[in-house]
């Protein structure tokens, strides 16, 4: 069970058997479709939740842990049902006041009824349209399980309801909330929120509807208000019964119908119940159809009572954690003078004072206290990794890196390990020698560098030399650090525009050309330089390439067509790459002409590999490095190297071969990446596809050259123009270094073993990047090769050799020192969830290239469980096994992990476009911690009730539908997408002040920007949106969705705490599942 080794399938696979067993027992279920996300057999998922459900309370209550099986079924049902189940809890309103126990008690005594009722109502509420399966679960329990141990059921349910999550570390933070998942809170909130629900609630029958399942949605709604129960009952009863009915009923000993009714009638409103019951029956059937497999098998096991509605507020909240950290450390200065100090969260607003360790903006670690031995590391399964963002932007109030010049001899380095001079070098012998902190080699201090030591053994010039006192700084590199021992030329940007029919027709070419005229004024430049040294060049292409000579001496530009795409070459040298300022007139002339020149084109075929090849050749000829901006529309089908054909095959989804969808096609592009990296040619690809383009292959070169892939499906200038231009502007202007090689050196005992990012590895240690910009991050996995000492700690030095935008060769050094401990508790205490999830995301995304998704998901879940179990076993104070105990630093880890598993690449759904999945996979590989955090837990900001006069952004809410309000307006963004969600009941004055429209109904579907209105709310909302667009590395297209409109589906998939649209568990379910796994591991 090695931590890293996703590759090491065997151990994981073992886990499966276990799972399998479950399934078998419970009904090897076919249910898979629904549970699909989970990876495995759907059943598994359900099962775990039940386990989780066991809360300490329950145990306290004296309930024996419910048989796994029983819970199992319920879960399944729940899964099948919509997320909404939770809301059901509210029904319990009565119980509300009382904490967990009371419900339990009631449960125990009354058995199913109460819970069921609650659940029923809840489901009705939540689902609104959809009939939540929750009810069904309720139903089932009675049937199936009820016979044998009544107790069991009871126990089960309570247990489930209140799995306690007790973050030991942070009791103060949110003890109460965490404690009980129990339904109480649930009840109240959801109810209130939904007006619809109200009606529904009234009529118990509603519950039945939910059963009916999603398809029913429309009908049930209608029916409820009207006739209430009877309606539902009829509908449901008919069909469902027939199909499913048999099995479920059979299983349960109790009389079919009666059983159903029982729950209903029980405690809650008697009148309604009976009716419900009837419905229930019907409903049950309904849901089953979806689950067919599961049910049949399950009957025996189904027993578990489902209802365990946990209070969503009681499970660890990401927003709360972020808020707390912001409150605690926000606005403070973070000094980096302490070894192994855990930095504030990436979401926290703080400033850094470099006092010997690199700023967390540059380097973050999964844990700041490494286990001393490999065994410990293996035991805890917490990955050891560092995420390095060597070019990260620093806020204005932080000092830029100092540049150190050690003269002609170059930077002073350890003779043995070649580490660069840094604060970890120990000067001895009166300052004549120094001992390397990494390899312990003793080196002579060069004469020119000699300095006396003070009484503390510190050099007298300690504070004058950045390389002795700071964590990050730069060295001027000498000739020997340059290619061919020649100083590099300033880099160049080449804009390569696909002028095939699609791009011309869409107006894209004109848009780009117009934009470039102003954009080129803002090329990145060295601080203090008047103008940029970056040269520019232009290429257009369809199935042939057109190069442009824009030498300043020319009266008009010259176009050179190269049709020989088989062996690409650059037809001109002088005049192709020029200084923008000098050639401005000719370039403007050219950019004016390009759209017209191709206005009549009917060429729709394009080439791609030759375009990149051309860029490489151009850089080769000009002896410089640089970046290609390729604006491309379609799959390259023209006869040329790198020609692609459609290999999208939805049939491969969920099969062993699914990985091929992510794998780039070999051959030309592989070699091309190599050539690009060798020449320092980074490729940024802007794609404007209208159909499948094999992004996995087309994105291969960018993803190995430090480039990015931007994708705009069905691009339309009006709708996406501004969005694209924002991306382009950010991309062109961002600070960047070229032709980079990075090396991570470590002190003895451990080393960097694996690397993730938009990088190219020629050997096992040198990380080559054609370009590295302020957003590119490399995740480095660390492994022991010896024992670490607590005393010496662990040191890391990341050295990045690169060429500046000005054409200077520099070395950027980041140093970081970590603690080492032989206590696992130290490790868990120093963990950083955001970094952990970054590592997991990247390693999982890489793993899917080689393994079936199913395995990868299993590995993720298993490792999650393992990490937590290890904590429970070794660090947590003893407590009941049914209690879920999370380390404080990792308490929100499950929500991220669950979100990760619901991301497109990891979800095997045929509804997702293959390109989209490949795109997300590639973009995540280069992401830093901040970006993955946001991606996996989007910001959901309520805008309808904020203080328009306040500067601050309203506090984000948890990403769950239940947080939405029908009359509210919410902004959701994850760094790539941005939604403005409008509740159905948004007050007209809100609509008026934001959109200048009388009501929501007048809103046009495809609006992508808010009108500029002169009222405080409008201004505030726009400033919030603009602020976010400004802040994020990528532009986001603002999508305005109305509640219940079709596009809302897009929005919903970002509510990561809910059940995934394309599969995947809700946060709650996941937690339960993990809990179960943990318990298993512990026993």
Rounded to whole angstroms, the Cα distance separating 382 from 1066 reads 24
- For the CB of residue 618, give the shortest distance to another protein in the complex, in Å: 13
Binding to another protein by residue 541, rule CB under 8 A?
Answer: no
Under the criterion CB under 8 A, does residue 450 sit at the interface with another protein? no
- The yes or no reply on residue 563 touching another protein (CB under 8 A) is yes
Q: Choose between 560 and 997: whose C-beta lies nearer to another protein.
A: 560
- Counting contacts by CB under 8 A, is residue 554 touching another protein? yes
531 makes contact with another protein (CB under 8 A): no
Q: Which of 159, 168, 185, 167 is nearest to 55 (CA)?
A: 159
User: 349: closest CA among 321, 322, 324, 330?
Assistant: 330
Q: Considering the complex, state which of residue 12 and residue 598 has its C-beta at the smaller distance from another protein.
A: 598
Does position 569 bind another protein by CB under 8 A? yes
Distance CA 45, CA 32 (A): 10
Options 559, 880, 997, 1081; binder of another protein; rule CB under 8 A: 559
Bridge partners of residue 971, in order along the sequence: 941, 980
574 lines the binding site for another protein (CB under 8 A): yes
Cβ at position 564, least distance to another protein in Å = 6
> Which range touches another protein (CB under 8 A), out of 351-359, 376-384, 560-568, 667-675?
560-568
Is position 557 an interface residue for another protein (rule: CB under 8 A)? Answer: yes
According to the binding rule CB under 8 A, does residue 499 interact with another protein? no
Determine the Cα angle at 79 with ends 77 and 82, to 5°: 105
Q: Decide: is 710 part of the binding site for another protein (CB under 8 A).
A: no
Stretch of residues binding another protein (CB under 8 A), selected from 149-157, 185-193, 436-444, 551-559: 551-559
Instruction: Give φ, ψ of 599 to 5 degrees.
Output: -55, -35
Residue 756 found at the interface with another protein (CB under 8 A): no
User: 880 near 166, Cβ under 8 Å?
Assistant: no
- For the record, the structure tokens of 141 come out as 């329990």
For another protein, the binding residue among 479, 529, 573, 1049 (CB under 8 A) is 573
Stretch that binds another protein, among 393-401, 573-581, 1022-1030, 1035-1043 (CB under 8 A): 573-581
Position 99 contacts another protein (CB under 8 A):
no
Residue 519 tokens, joined = 């954009």
CB atoms near residue 1024 (< 10 Å)? 18
Q: Is the CB of 566 or the CB of 952 nearer to another protein?
A: 566
Q: Is 451 in the site for another protein (CB under 8 A)?
A: no
Nearer to another protein, 611 or 1074 (CB): 611
Closest CB to another protein among residues 614, 1017 = 614
Comparing CA positions, the residue from 811, 833, 954 lying closest to residue 887 is: 833
- 38 or 547: CB nearest another protein: 547
Backbone angles phi, psi at 223, to 5 degrees: -60, -45
* Cβ nearer to another protein, comparing 375 with 567: 567
Mapping DSSP to helix (H, G, I), strand (E, B) and coil, where does residue 280 land?
A: helix
Helix (H) or strand (E) holding 74: helix 68-80
Q: What residues between 589 and 608 interact with another protein by CB under 8 A?
A: 589-590, 593, 597
- Residue 619 is a binding residue for another protein (CB under 8 A): no
Q: Does 132 bind another protein (CB under 8 A)?
A: no
Q: Which two tokens stand for residue 586?
A: 């000719």
Angle of helix 853-874 relative to helix 9-26, nearest 10 degrees, comes to: 90
- The correct pick among 143, 547, 750, 937 for binding another protein (CB under 8 A) is 547
- φ, ψ of residue 818 to 5 degrees: the values are -120, 160
Residue number with CB closer to another protein (226 or 561): 561
**Is 567 a residue that touches another protein (CB under 8 A)?**
yes
Q: Which residues contact 327 (CB under 8 A, 6 or more apart)?
A: none
Nearer to another protein, 622 or 906 (CB): 622
Of the listed pieces 435-443, 455-463, 524-532, 558-566, which binds another protein according to CB under 8 A?
558-566
- Count the neighbouring beta carbons within 10 Å of the beta carbon of residue 331: 10
**Does position 623 bind another protein by CB under 8 A?**
no
CB of 341 to another protein, least distance (A): 55
- The answer to the question of residue 556 lying near another protein (CB under 8 A) is yes
How far is 364 from 341, CA to CA, in rounded Å?
A: 11
Q: For the purposes of burial, counting CB atoms within 10 Å of the CB of 446, is it exposed (0-12), middle (13-18) or buried (19 or more)?
A: exposed
Contacts of residue 948, defined as CB under 8 A and 6 or more positions apart, other chains included, come to: 1016, 1017, 1019, 1020
CB closer to another protein, 444 vs 623: 623
Name the one range near another protein by CB under 8 A: 459-467, 553-561, 678-686, 858-866: 553-561
Best CA proximity match to 1075, nearest among 53, 1, 19 = 53
Check residue 558 for interaction with another protein (CB under 8 A).
Answer: yes
Instruction: Identify which of residues 460 and 573 has a Cβ nearer to another protein in the complex.
Output: 573
Q: Does position 564 bind another protein by CB under 8 A?
A: yes
Cβ atoms of residues 382 and 806 within 8 Å:
no
- Interface residue with another protein, options 298, 431, 488, 575 (CB under 8 A): 575
- Region of 259 on the Ramachandran plot (φ > 0 left; ψ -120 to 50 alpha; else beta): alpha
- With respect to another protein, which residue has the nearer C-beta, 550 or 777? 550
Q: How far is CA 778 from CA 37, 244, 736, 838, in A?
A: 28, 52, 15, 10
- Does position 417 bind another protein by CB under 8 A? no
The residue among 586 and 709 lying less far from another protein, judged by its C-beta, is: 586
**Least distance in angstroms from the C-beta of 515 to another protein:** 20
d(Cα 549, Cα 610) in Å, to the nearest integer? 19
Number of residues that bind another protein (CB under 8 A): 24
The span of 571-579, 720-728, 750-758, 884-892 binding another protein (CB under 8 A) equals 571-579
Smallest gap, in angstroms, from Cβ of residue 556 to another protein?
Answer: 6
The C-alpha atoms of residue 152 and residue 399 are separated, in whole angstroms, by 64
For residues 988-1015, one letter each, b for 16 or more C-beta atoms within 10 angstroms of the residue's C-beta and e for the rest, the string is eebbbbbbeeeebeebeeeebebeebee
Q: E strand or H helix at 47, and its extent?
A: helix 47-53
Instruction: Give the Cα separation of 100 and 882 in Å (integer).
Output: 15
Single out the residue of 8, 333, 561, 948 in contact with another protein (rule: CB under 8 A). 561
- Interface map 873-912 toward another protein (x if CB under 8 A): ----------------------------------------
Cβ–Cβ under 8 Å, residues 987 and 945: no
Based on the shown chain and the rule CB under 8 A, indicate whether residue 572 belongs to the binding site for another protein. yes
Considering only residues 955-994, where is the footprint of another protein by CB under 8 A? Answer: none
Instruction: Considering the complex, state which of residue 559 and residue 725 has its C-beta at the smaller distance from another protein.
Output: 559
- Cβ–Cβ under 8 Å, residues 372 and 789: yes
* Among the listed residues 92, 497, 544, 844, the single contact to another protein using CB under 8 A: 544
Quick check: 652 binds another protein (CB under 8 A)? no
Work out whether 402 is an interface residue with another protein (CB under 8 A): no
Helix (H, G, I), strand (E, B) or coil at 432: coil
Comparing CB distances to another protein, the nearer of 533 and 594 is 594
Cβ proximity to another protein: between 592 and 1045 the closer is 592
Residue 552 interacts with another protein (CB under 8 A)? Answer: no
Is 577 near another protein (CB under 8 A)? no
- Beta strand extents in 378-487 (DSSP E only): 385-388, 403-404, 426-428, 433-435, 442-444, 472-476
Binding site for another protein (CB under 8 A): 544, 547, 554-564, 567, 569, 571-575, 589-590, 593, 597
């Amino acid at each position: 069970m090695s931590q890293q080794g996703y590759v090491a399938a065997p151990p994981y696979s073992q886990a499966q058997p276990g799972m399998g067993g479950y399934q078998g027992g419970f009904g090897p279920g076919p249910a898979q479709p629904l549970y699909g996300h989970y990876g495995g057999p759907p059943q598994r998922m359900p099962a775990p939740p039940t386990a989780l459900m066991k809360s300490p309370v329950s145990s306290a209550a004296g309930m024996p842990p419910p048989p796994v099986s029983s819970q199992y079924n319920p879960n399944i049902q729940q899964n099948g049902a919509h997320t909404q189940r939770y809301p059901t809890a509210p029904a319990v309103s009565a119980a509300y006041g009382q904490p967990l126990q009371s419900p339990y008690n009631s449960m125990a005594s009354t058995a199913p009824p109460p819970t069921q009722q609650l659940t029923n109502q809840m489901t009705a509420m939540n689902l609104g349209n959809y009939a939540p399966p929750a009810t069904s679960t309720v139903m089932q329990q009675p049937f199936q399980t009820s016979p044998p141990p009544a107790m069991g059921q009871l126990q089960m349910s309570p247990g489930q309801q209140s799995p306690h999550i007790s973050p030991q570390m942070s009791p103060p933070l949110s003890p109460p909330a965490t404690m009980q998942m129990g339904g109480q809170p649930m009840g109240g909130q959801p109810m209130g929120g939904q007006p619809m629900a109200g009606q529904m609630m009234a009529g118990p029958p509603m519950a039945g509807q939910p059963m009916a399942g999603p398809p029913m949605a429309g009908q049930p709604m209608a029916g409820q208000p009207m006739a209430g129960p009877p309606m539902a009952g009829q509908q449901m009863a008919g069909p469902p019964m027939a199909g499913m009915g048999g099995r479920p009923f059979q299983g349960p000993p109790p009389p079919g119908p009666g059983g159903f009714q029982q729950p209903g009638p029980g405690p809650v409103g008697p009148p309604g119940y009976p009716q419900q019951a009837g419905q229930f029956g019907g409903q049950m059937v309904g849901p089953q159809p979806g689950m067919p497999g599961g049910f049949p098998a399950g009957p025996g096991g189904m027993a578990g009572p489902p209802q365990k509605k946990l209070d969503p507020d009681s499970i660890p909240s990401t927003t709360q954690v972020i808020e707390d950290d912001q409150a605690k450390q926000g606005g403070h200065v973070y000094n980096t003078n302490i070894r192994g100090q855990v930095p504030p969260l990436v979401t926290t607003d703080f400033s850094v004072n470099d006092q010997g360790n690199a700023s967390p903006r540059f380097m973050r670690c999964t844990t700041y206290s490494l286990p001393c031995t490999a065994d410990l590391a293996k035991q805890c399964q917490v990955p050891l990794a560092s995420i390095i963002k060597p070019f990260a932007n620093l806020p204005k109030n932080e000092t830029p890196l100092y540049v150190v010049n050690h003269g002609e001899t170059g930077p002073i380095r350890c003779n043995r390990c070649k580490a660069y001079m840094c604060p970890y070098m120990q000067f001895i012998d009166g300052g004549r020698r120094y001992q390397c902190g990494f390899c312990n080699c003793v080196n002579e201090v060069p004469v020119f560098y000699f300095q006396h030591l003070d009484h503390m053994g510190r050099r007298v010039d300690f504070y004058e030399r950045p390389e002795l006192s700071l964590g990050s700084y730069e060295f001027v590199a000498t000739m020997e650090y340059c290619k061919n021992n020649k100083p590099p030329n300033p880099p160049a940007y080449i804009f390569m525009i696909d002028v095939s029919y699609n791009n011309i027709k869409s107006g894209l070419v004109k848009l780009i050309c117009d934009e470039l005229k102003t954009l080129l004024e803002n090329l990145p430049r060295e601080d203090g330089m008047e103008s940029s040294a970056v040269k520019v060049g232009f290429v257009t292409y369809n199935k042939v390439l057109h190069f442009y000579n824009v030498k300043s001496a020319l009266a008009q530009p010259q176009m050179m067509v190269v049709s020989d795409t088989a062996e690409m070459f650059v037809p001109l040298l002088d005049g192709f790459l020029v200084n923008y300022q000098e050639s401005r007139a000719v370039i403007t002339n050219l950019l004016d002409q390009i759209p017209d020149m191709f206005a009549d084109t009917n060429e729709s075929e394009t080439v791609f590999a030759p375009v990149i090849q051309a860029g490489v050749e151009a850089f080769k000829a000009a002896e410089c490095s640089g970046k290609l901006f390729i604006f491309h529309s379609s799959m390259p089908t023209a006869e040329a190297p790198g020609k692609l054909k459609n290999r999208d095959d939805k049939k491969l989804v969920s099969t062993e071969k699914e990985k091929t969808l992510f794998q780039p096609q070999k051959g030309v592009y592989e070699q091309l990446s190599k050539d690009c990296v060798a020449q320092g040619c980074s490729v940024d690809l802007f794609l404007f596809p209208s159909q499948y383009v094999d992004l996995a292959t087309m994105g291969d070169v960018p993803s190995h050259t430090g480039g990015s892939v931007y994708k705009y499906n069905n691009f339309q200038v009006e709708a996406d123009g501004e969005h694209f231009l924002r991306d382009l502007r950010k991309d062109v202007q961002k600070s960047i270094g070229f032709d980079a090689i990075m090396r991570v050196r470590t002190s003895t005992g451990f080393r960097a073993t694996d690397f993730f990012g938009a990088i190219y590895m020629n050997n096992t240690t040198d990380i080559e990047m054609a370009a590295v910009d302020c957003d590119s991050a490399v995740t480095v996995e660390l492994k022991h090769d010896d024992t670490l000492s607590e005393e010496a700690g662990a040191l890391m030095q990341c050295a990045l050799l690169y060429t500046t935008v000005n054409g200077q060769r520099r070395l950027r050094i980041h140093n970081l020192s970590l603690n080492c401990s032989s206590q696992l508790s130290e490790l868990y205490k120093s963990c950083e969830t955001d970094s952990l999830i970054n590592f997991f995301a990247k390693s999982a995304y890489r793993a899917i290239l080689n393994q079936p998704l199913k395995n990868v998901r299993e590995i993720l879940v298993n490792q999650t469980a393992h990490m937590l179990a290890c904590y429970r076993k070794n660090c947590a104070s003893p407590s009941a096994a049914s209690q879920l105990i999370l380390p404080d630093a990792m308490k929100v880890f499950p929500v991220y992990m669950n979100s990760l598993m619901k991301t497109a690449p990891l979800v095997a759904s045929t509804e997702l476009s293959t390109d989209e999945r490949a795109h997300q996979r590639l973009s995540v590989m280069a992401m830093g911690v901040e970006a993955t955090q946001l991606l996996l837990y989007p910001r959901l900001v309520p805008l309808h009730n904020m203080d328009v006069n306040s500067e601050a952004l309203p506090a984000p809410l948890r990403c769950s539908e239940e947080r939405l309000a029908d009359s509210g307006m919410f902004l959701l963004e994850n760094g790539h997408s941005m939604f403005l969600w409008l509740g159905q009941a948004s007050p007209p004055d809100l609509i008026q002040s934001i959109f200048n429209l009388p009501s929501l109904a007048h809103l046009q579907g495809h609006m992508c920007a808010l009108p500029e209105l002169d009222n405080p709310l409008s201004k505030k909302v726009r400033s919030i949106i603009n602020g976010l667009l400004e802040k994020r590395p990528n532009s986001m297209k603002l999508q305005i969705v109305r509640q219940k409109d079709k596009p809302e589906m897009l929005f919903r998939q970002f509510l990561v705490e809910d059940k995934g649209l394309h599969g995947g568990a809700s946060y709650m379910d996941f937690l339960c599942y993990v809990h179960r796994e943990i318990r298993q591991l512990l026993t």
